[in-house]
Structure 1
């Protein structure tokens, strides 16, 4: 059992969950496109967390848990070639643009 407590992110950190819903018939394509973002995003300076989940009871609905050191790191992420390539496909893969739910730590 891993009992290590992760270090607290910096006070400037931005943490959010992106809600991404596949168009009918596009679940696998969206999953593949999102999965392709993970490795290069982890390599970005300022990326603290970037993890993909799919709702167990709603296949095709994905949550990307994201945390970046600050707004500049998030802006840099949005400008990367791998993210821009994904963004160019949003209309064909998703029923609506991603919804970003910003989170505030409570404890």
Structure 2
């Protein structure tokens, strides 16, 4: 899955810091196979979080963690557009 997150004007650094703070604890979660943060080179302030969990239960457990809940509580101030989730199916 890829989460696309866009900062509102003037909040790029705040969103970047909040997202970066999710990476280390999430990578320690059972069932987390990949969790990496990227910023689009040609669209500063637009971030992509590449996420892979073993199954839906691991993803739901991630969403219940204190670090994710803390981010979720601030999302309204950190996001300039609704979060977009892109679900992927591995092909090769």
Question: TM tier, shorter chain?
Answer: over 0.9
Unaligned runs of 5+ in 2: none
Unaligned runs of 5+ in 1: 1-15
SS in 1 for 2:52: strand
- Structure with higher Rg: it is 1
What TM-score, normalized by structure 2, do the two folds share? 0.98
Q: Which has the higher helix share?
A: 2
Provide Cα deviations, 1:8-62, integer angstroms capped at 9, x if missing partner: xxxxxxxx00000001100000000000000000000000000000000000000
The worse-fitting range, judged by mean Cα deviation, of 37-46 and 88-97 is 88-97
Write the distance in 1 (CA, Å) between the matches of 2:3 and 2:41. 16
Query: What is the root-mean-square deviation of aligned Cα atoms in Å?
Result: 0.6
Matched, 1:85 2:75: no
Task: Name the structure 2 match of 1:61.
Answer: 46
Write the distance in 2 (CA, Å) between the matches of 1:66 and 1:50. 5
Task: Give runs of ≥4 in structure 1 deviating > 3 Å.
Answer: none
- On the 8 A contact 1:90/1:97 being kept in 2, the answer is no
